Amino acid sequence: MTQNREMLDLLSDEQKREAQRAKELQKVSDPVEKEKLELKFDQEKTKTKQKLKVMTKKHAEELAKLEGVSPSPKKKKPADEDDMEMVSA
pLDDT tens digits along 13-67: 999 999 999 999 999 999 999 999 999 999 999 999 999 999 999 988 888 888 8
Residue 1's pLDDT band, with cuts at 50, 70 and 90, is: low
- Which residue segment(s) compose the domain that 49 sits in? 2-69
Checking if the pLDDT of 74 tops 90, the result is: no
- C-alpha triplet 3, 22, 29: angle, nearest 5°: 155
Q: What is the arithmetic mean of pLDDT over 61-75?
A: 73
Q: What local confidence, expressed as pLDDT, does residue 89 receive?
A: 37
Question: Does residue 86 lie within any of the structural domains?
Answer: no
Task: Look at residue 81 and tell me if it is in a domain.
Answer: no
Residue 6 falls within a domain, yes or no? yes
Is residue 76 assigned to a domain? no
Is 26 strand, coil or helix?
A: helix
How many domains are contained in the chain?
1
Provide DSSP, 31-55: HHHHHHHHHHHHHHHHHHHHHHHHH
Euclidean distance between the first and the last CA atom of the chain, given in angstroms as a whole number? 41
Give domain status of residue 12, yes or no: yes
Q: For residue 9, tell me if it sits in a domain.
A: yes
